[in-house]
Amino acid sequence: MISNTIAAKDTILKCIAEHGWNPENNYYYYQNKEVRGMKNVFLKFNDMGILTQVHNDKTWHLFANGILAPSEKRIGILTEFISHALKKYKRVKLELTDELRKELIRKLKNSPYKVMAANYILYWPVFNMKKWDDKLEGGDWKKLRNLRNKLHKEHRVEVKPSTEFSKEELKNIVEEWRKSRPSKERSEFEQYLKWIDSGFMGCDCARSVVIDGEPCTITAGWKIPNSNNYYSAIGLCNYKYEGLNEVANADDLIFLKSQGYDYVDFGGGEKPLTAFKMKFKPESVYETAVFSIVNKA
């Protein structure tokens, strides 16, 4: 068990490089999510590992799908973690893909642990870059084209690397975004500031739509480990202009297709957020469940 995940950076990076498979298997993302009340703890199993967090010293969390192991060994080391965690804590909280969750339920059927019903489901749209229409042609894209054309007609619109702007300018975007979002989503505020302060360390791409010289959006992400796929992890805008969010996301997909990625994962969200992402016509949507495991007795 490694509590100093900063000192263990090289160990964790090596483990992710060898066994990472999930969009959120990213060391810098893991560090940026260590916000108030959360303490990162890395569990090492030979050359494998698990990204976890302890919340207010009361609940132990699996960090996203942070089981860094070959597919056939993931459930085995996950159950070891659960057994270890429930000796000290009353609850283990997990987020797992639907497939892994079902496998874990089967594994724990006759165990001393109870798998609770899902607290909520996240939906993850995925875009096949070989099929995605980067020309935005035809009737299906008419509304988006109109939004983009209107924005370009009325303003000077550019797209630049986010790192070309000051931290203050970028943090202003985050602040304006925070004001416009539901309180549940605002909890992400602290980690976004960390991304900016680090210069988007761990991201392969960070871009901003610039309106009349002012950066108004941030979209950023990274290549998913051991794949040719991309995770669009950050998508923020200041909502100053109609269609700004749509234009930023469409431009991101156009750019990512030009970079040769096979698939782009637009990240998980509950249904209202997913409804916005569906505007860009993903090829598929998969699910992850957030749920808990407790001792039966």
pLDDT digits (tens, 9 = 90+) for 48-79: 999 999 998 889 999 999 999 999 999 999 99
Give the start-to-end residue ranges of the domains of the chain: 9-115, 124-288
Task: For domain 124-288, give the CATH number.
Answer: 3.40.630.30
- Rounded CA gap, 81 and 67, in Å? 10
What pLDDT was estimated at residue 187?
60
Cβ atoms 238, 177 nearer than 8 A: yes
Please identify which residue in the block is written with the tokens 């899902």. 118
- Rounded CA gap, 100 and 96, in Å? 6
* pLDDT, tens digit, 9 for 90 and up, residues 210-227: 999 999 999 999 999 999
pLDDT, average across residues 132-161:
94
- Rounded CA gap, 122 and 267, in Å? 9
What pLDDT was estimated at residue 185?
59
User: What's the mean per-residue pLDDT of the chain?
Assistant: 94
Residue 174: DSSP 8-state: H
What pLDDT was estimated at residue 281?
94
* pLDDT, tens digit, 9 for 90 and up, residues 86-138: 998 999 999 999 999 999 999 999 999 999 999 999 999 999 999 999 999 99
Confidence of residue 183 (pLDDT cuts 50, 70, 90): low
DSSP 86-115: TTT-SEEEEEEEHHHHHHHHHHTTTSSEEE
- Rounded CA gap, 196 and 166, in Å? 9
